Amino acid sequence: MADTSSIKGDLRLSNITKTYGDFTAVNDLSLTIPEGSFFALLGPSGCGKTTTLRMVAGLEEPTKGTISLGNTDITYTKPYQRPINTVFQNYALFPHLSIFENIAFGLRRRGIKDVKPQVEKALELVELSHLAGRKPTQLSGGQQQRIALARAIVNRPALLLLDEPLGALDLKLRRQMQIELKWIQKEVGLTFVHVTHDQEEAMTMADTIAVMNEGEIEQLGSPADLYDNPKTAFVANFLGQSNLIKGTISGNDGDNHIVDLFGQKISLAKNRSHAVDNSILAGIRPEKFRISRLETATSGNLLTGGKIEDVSYIGVSTQYQVLMPWGQELMVFEQNDDAVAPFSVGENVNISWESGFTFALRGDEDAEAGMEVEPEEIIDEDE
Amino acid sequence: MKMSKSGISSPRTPYLLLLPGIGFLFTFFIWPIANLAQTSTQTPVAGGDTGSYEQTLRWRNYIDAFVENKEQFGRSFLYASLATILALAIAYPLAYAIAFKAGKLKNVLLVLVVAPFFTSFLLRTIAWKQILGEQGFVVPTLRSLHIIAPSTTLTSSAFAVVAGMTYNFLPFMTLPLYASIDRIDPRTLEASGDLYANGFTTFRKVTFPLSLPGVVAGTLLTFIPAAGDYVNAAILGSPETKMIGNVIDSRFFKIVDYPTAAALSFTLMAAILVLVTVYIRKAGTEELV
Amino acid sequence: MRKVSRWFQRNLIRIYAGVAFTYLLIPIAYTVAFSFNDGGKSNLIWKGFTFNNWLNPCGAPEVCTALGNSIKIGFLATTFATILGTMIAFAIGRHKFRGRSATNLLIFLPMATPEIVLGASLLSLFLTLKINPGFWPTVIAHVMFCISFVVVTVKARIASLDPRLEQAAMDLYANEVETFRRVTFPLVAPGIAGAALLAFSLSFDDFIITNFNSGTMTTFPKFVYVSAARGIPPQANVIGSSMFLIALVIVILGQIVGRKRAVK
């Protein structure tokens, strides 16, 4: 086997396209993942994220384009010749080998004689030293997940790929493992590339997220960037929830646009607009809104003429549906942290927010893109 | 069928279900075997007709039978082993291809594997005899190309017997192999590649161990009938390729020597059972490297 | 050049499979081809194409008597073996009882015993009991070696059933008998049908055990074996080919029906 352990550096995908017959799974995708980062590929089922991961792992060959690690082209390198390891979706632990032998597998293949110290260290890292002698089927889902992680990490790869690693776990265990994974990544200092359809999971763990849709990257950035200033309706809706209101840019005020939303004027920072002309979709996250009774004074942007349609109390916050004069229902999340009496259905109210929170998308976008997808319900992947 | 309210049937139900079938097997399998054991130590009635024997508990029948036919015994086990190894070598890649590479053709290919079952195995064996025989097209072609000497024949030889057995038992080898290879999660193979194992190592360390149940089942389904077979030897062989089955057959029908035939049958069965037990132990507990 | 070798590497196993299939199917093709041979009685050398053998499949002496016996024996043996074997399979697959592992061993043993021993032992019993070999002893012999295969096939089907289906049926007010009739049995039925087909093909194709227990009665395999010495008549090829085609049609129909059901 060629010695590839010295290959290091950023992972670079250049103009990668992968087609299966008429179907294009990945379309001209270019991407650089810096060494040492925790990178997430986020998207709904069928968006091409798993295909991308499999090409990086060497399990698929791209139809077009190149993949390189540092300065080495690895596009056509066999999986076993890449310093890249994968935590597989359903773990793919070898059922005929003990936990110890599962973890030792990669070390032995690379001709390392004394595997014991490294395997034991990996087991310690995932806190399962006492299970070394068992077979995979004797372990719980969460334990299998950790062993799959240990089996990959023990090889100290230049790049660790995680394919929906937590998909088979229940919610509580998943949250716990998210924190642990993040901690382990810091501890071992490896580059992690994480594929998931769970936006919360991606935001919790990753430094950088690439949101994928239909084989292309919609937007790339830090979790806060993506959330606060989404570029497309798909990102705005897939990452959390957004209120998107049709409007027109009607004037200028220094660094801000003056925007007309169905006859009411609001202000929008110019550097938060991704529109290409005067027609826009103004976006505001539901928790940024404040509801006020008609007589109350407000600051920032203001929309009047709302009427409470629905109230759901969910503990830390209350969610309101507010019907606006132009027929659109806006969603508002109010923290239950002040003395203002809760609003009741049928009350007439105004809505206000700090103008800095407004973002704007192209006016010709589908305001519902990315909404049909219910990320939590998708279990099967896009294979 | 009477069952109790709890959804678990009454304790008598399983016995009622078993009784007819198990009774049948006791009468027509266990009893004949016991009877055969009994026959195996008989000796001819002094001055009696051909075929009349009496029980004298002559255990030497076994030793005589074995010593007289040890060559045929050896040949049976040698041919059966060769046929089993050849069938495994041919069937494994075939089963692997059907399980992992066939895609939509999977069902069609499985039908093709069992297709030989649909024609009489005797007809197929005779077809081989004729294809490879003096009047077939293979031998003259090979002779004219000087691949074989003018005097060499393909039939009436050990080669033909082993080839015939390999052919006849190939589906028995392929099906269990396919069943257990098909059950392997392809992701474990990908994981192996991901963990620095090349194609050959992946096969040795992951694919083969995981398909072991199929290998064991297939080799048993091939070896057992092959060791007792005499049809291939009779059709494709010569007097020099006689197997133990041919001897038992002729002892029964031509020589009417029931005790020897019985002793030979018993020795064959015992030898196979011992071999099979050792083999299962070995394959079941130790990691095959 | 690199592309060619990559293509070859990737398709090596497919090429191999193609060769293996050719090997498997050559004698069948040969048998079918020679059913059209105008070869007279011996049918050893290709002499010319004719439909005569197919138009007159009973043309060779005794071939149809032998075929008739084989079919009769096959049907009787299949019926008995399927009934007895299915009962045993349900007992093992759906009940807990003492002696289960002994039962499993008793089922396994006939499959692990060489045919020649099965045939010889049964014949020696018939001889001891002064029963002449013939039609019924052959049927009994066939039932005996088919039972195990039926049990194994049906048991596998029962084991693959989700027990929750039966629990759901009972939850929906079906009593035990109704549950068996409306849920368990219909779900196991394809397995039983498969087992019956297997039993019939084993019985129809059996030579060794039959040869021991059939006396002077002839069956199709016996007919083929006996006439092999002087060359089998083309009518035997006709019968062999038709059995092949019939079996193929049954299997294909089974697959189509199975797929339609799966779609629904």
Compute the count of residue pairs across chains B and C with CB atoms less than 8 Å apart.
246
Q: What is the pLDDT of residue B284?
A: 62
Give the mean pLDDT of C44-68: 80
Among A33-42, A262-271, B2-11, whose mean pLDDT is lowest? B2-11
C56: left (phi over 0), alpha (psi -120 to 50) or beta: beta
In a domain, B168, yes or no: yes
Q: What is the pLDDT of residue C262?
A: 62
Considering only CB atoms, B194 lies closest to which of A86, A89, A96, namely A86
Q: Say if residue A243's pLDDT is above 90.
A: yes
Q: What is the pLDDT of residue C78?
A: 96
Residues B183 and B128 in one domain: yes
In a domain, B16, yes or no: yes
Closest to C243 (Cα-Cα) out of B123, B250, B135: B123
Classify strands A38-42 and A191-196 as parallel, antiparallel or unpaired: parallel
Tally of CB atoms within 10 A around B182: 16
Q: What is the pLDDT of residue A1?
A: 40
Of A51 and A370, the structure prediction assigns the larger pLDDT to A51
Give the mean pLDDT of A55-61: 90
Smallest CA–CA distance, residue A50 to chain B, in Å, is 13
- Domain parsing of chain C, residue ranges: 2-52, 61-232
pTM (global) more than 0.80: no
d(CA B205, CA B203): 6
Residue B160, judged by CB atoms within 10 A of its CB (0-12, 13-18, 19+), counts as buried
Give the mean pLDDT of A147-171: 88
Q: Which of residues 194-233 of B touch C (CB under 8 A)?
A: 220, 224-225, 227-231
The reply to whether A77 touches chain B by the CB within 8 Å rule is no
The conformation of residue B29, written as its DSSP 8-state character, comes to I
Among A199-203, C148-152, C233-237, whose mean pLDDT is lowest? C233-237
Considering only CB atoms, B190 lies closest to which of A92, A93, A95, namely A92
Give the mean pLDDT of A216-228: 93
Find out whether A318 and A336 touch, Cβ atoms under 8 Å: yes
CATH superfamily of A241-362: Nucleic acid-binding proteins (2.40.50.140)
Find out whether C115 and C142 touch, Cβ atoms under 8 Å: no
Of A273 and B150, the structure prediction assigns the larger pLDDT to A273
d(CA A354, CA A334): 14
Smallest CA–CA distance, residue B146 to chain C, in Å, is 23
For chain B, what is the domain count?
2
d(CA C27, CA B128): 6
Q: B254: pLDDT confidence band, cut at 50, 70 and 90?
A: confident
Q: What is the pLDDT of residue C2?
A: 64
* CA C187-C189-C190 angle, 5° bins: 95
Q: Say if residue C64's pLDDT is above 80.
A: yes
Beta bridge partners of A194: A40, A162
In a domain, B137, yes or no: yes
Q: A253: pLDDT confidence band, cut at 50, 70 and 90?
A: confident
Q: What is the pLDDT of residue B287?
A: 39
Q: B250: pLDDT confidence band, cut at 50, 70 and 90?
A: confident
Give the mean pLDDT of A25-33: 93
Q: Say if residue B285's pLDDT is above 50.
A: no
Tokens of B123: 């007809």
Query: How far is residue B159 CA from its own chain's centroid?
Result: 17
In a domain, B46, yes or no: no
Give A88-133 as a DSSP string: BTTB---TTS-HHHHHHHHHHHTT-S--HHHHHHHHHHTT-GGGTT
| Domain A11-228 shares a fold with domain A241-362 | no
List of residues 6+ apart from B196 with CB closer than 8 A: A1, A80, A81, A106, A109, A110, A155
d(CA C145, CA C138): 11
d(CA A230, CA A361): 8
Q: What is the pLDDT of residue B286?
A: 42
Q: In chain A, what residues touch B206 (CB-CB under 8 Å)?
A: 94, 96
Diameter over CA atoms, chain A? 78
Say whether B269 and C20 touch across the interface (CB within 8 A): no
Residue type, C236: A
Question: What is the average pLDDT score of chain C?
Answer: 85
d(CA A53, CA A160): 10
Smallest CA–CA distance, residue B21 to chain C, in Å, is 5
Smallest CA–CA distance, residue C121 to chain B, in Å, is 5
Say whether B17 and C88 touch across the interface (CB within 8 A): yes
Length of chain A: 383
Q: C43: pLDDT confidence band, cut at 50, 70 and 90?
A: confident
Smallest CA–CA distance, residue A81 to chain B, in Å, is 6
Closest to A35 (Cα-Cα) out of A57, A56, A13, A9: A9
Q: What is the pLDDT of residue B156?
A: 81
Q: B153: pLDDT confidence band, cut at 50, 70 and 90?
A: confident
Q: pLDDT tens digits for A117-137?
A: 999 999 998 889 999 999 998
Give the mean pLDDT of B217-225: 90
* CA B53-B59-B64 angle, 5° bins: 85
d(CA A229, CA B4): 67
Q: What is the pLDDT of residue A381?
A: 40
Q: C54: pLDDT confidence band, cut at 50, 70 and 90?
A: confident
Say whether A94 and B191 touch across the interface (CB within 8 A): yes
Residue B172, judged by CB atoms within 10 A of its CB (0-12, 13-18, 19+), counts as buried
Residues B1 and B111 in one domain: no
Residue type, A376: E
Question: What is each CA distance from A213 to A18, A149, A372, in whole angstroms?
Answer: 14, 27, 13
Tokens of B170: 């190939």
User: How many percent of chain A have pLDDT more than 90?
Assistant: 55
Nearest CA in chain C to B98: C17
The conformation of residue B9, written as its DSSP 8-state character, comes to B
Give the mean pLDDT of C219-241: 85
Residues B104 and B196 in one domain: yes
Residues B4 and B69 in one domain: no
The side-by-side arrangement of strands in the sheet containing A290-293 is A290-293, A348-353, A301-313, A317-323, A329-335
CATH superfamily of A11-228: P-loop containing nucleotide triphosphate hydrolases (3.40.50.300)
- At B138, which CATH number? 1.10.3720.10
Q: Where are the alpha helices (DSSP H) in chain B?
A: 13-25, 31-39, 60-68, 70-101, 106-114, 121-132, 138-144, 158-182, 186-194, 199-202, 208-228, 231-236, 244-253, 258-285
Considering only CB atoms, A105 lies closest to which of B187, B195, B198, namely B195
Compute the count of residue pairs across chains A and B with CB atoms less than 8 Å apart.
71
Q: What is the pLDDT of residue B289?
A: 29
Find out whether A27 and A106 touch, Cβ atoms under 8 Å: no
The reply to whether B190 touches chain A by the CB within 8 Å rule is yes
Find out whether A33 and A11 touch, Cβ atoms under 8 Å: yes
List of residues 6+ apart from B5 with CB closer than 8 A: none
CA trace torsion C192, C195, C197, C203 (10° rounding): -140
The reply to whether A29 touches chain B by the CB within 8 Å rule is no
Say whether A84 and B194 touch across the interface (CB within 8 A): yes
Q: In chain B, what residues touch A84 (CB-CB under 8 Å)?
A: 194
Is B87 strand, coil or helix? Answer: helix
Q: pLDDT tens digits for B30-85?
A: 999 998 888 888 888 777 776 778 777 788 888 888 888 888 899 999 999 999 99
Query: How far is residue B1 CA from its own chain's centroid?
Result: 39
Q: What is the pLDDT of residue C195?
A: 92
The reply to whether A172 touches chain B by the CB within 8 Å rule is no
Q: Say if residue B288's pLDDT is above 60.
A: no
Question: What is the average pLDDT score of chain A?
Answer: 88
Considering only CB atoms, B194 lies closest to which of A1, A57, A89, namely A57
Q: Say if residue A379's pLDDT is above 70.
A: no
List the domain range (segments joined by +) for residue B164.
61-286
Find out whether A90 and B187 touch, Cβ atoms under 8 Å: yes
Considering only CB atoms, B32 lies closest to which of C28, C122, C205, namely C122
The conformation of residue B186, written as its DSSP 8-state character, comes to H
Q: Which of residues 247-266 of B touch C (CB under 8 A)?
A: 248-249, 252, 258, 261-262, 265-266
Say whether A105 and B210 touch across the interface (CB within 8 A): no
Say whether A79 and B193 touch across the interface (CB within 8 A): yes
Among A13-17, A285-289, A362-366, B82-86, whose mean pLDDT is lowest? A362-366
ipTM field: 0.84
- Domain parsing of chain A, residue ranges: 11-228, 241-362
Q: Say if residue B132's pLDDT is above 70.
A: yes
The reply to whether A117 touches chain B by the CB within 8 Å rule is no
List of residues 6+ apart from A228 with CB closer than 8 A: A285, A357, A359
Q: What is the pLDDT of residue A330?
A: 93
Q: pLDDT tens digits for C132-180?
A: 999 999 999 999 999 999 999 999 889 888 777 777 777 777 777 778 8
Beta bridge partners of A335: A317
Buried b (16+ CB within 10 A) or exposed e, A117-153: ebbeebbebbebeebbeebbeebeebbbbbbbbbbbb
Residue type, A137: T
Tally of CB atoms within 10 A around A170: 10
Q: pLDDT tens digits for A45-57?
A: 889 999 999 999 9
In a domain, B49, yes or no: no
Q: Say if residue A322's pLDDT is above 90.
A: yes
Nearest CA in chain A to B286: A96
Find out whether A48 and A56 touch, Cβ atoms under 8 Å: no
List of residues 6+ apart from A89 with CB closer than 8 A: A50, A163, A164, A165, A167, A168, A381, B187
d(CA A268, CA A259): 7
Q: Say if residue A29's pLDDT is above 90.
A: yes
- C touches which chains (3+ CB pairs under 8 A)? B
Smallest CA–CA distance, residue A90 to chain B, in Å, is 8
Q: In chain C, what residues touch B126 (CB-CB under 8 Å)?
A: 224, 228, 232
CATH number of C61-232: 1.10.3720.10
The reply to whether B94 touches chain C by the CB within 8 Å rule is yes
Among A94-98, B55-59, B232-236, C124-128, whose mean pLDDT is lowest? B55-59
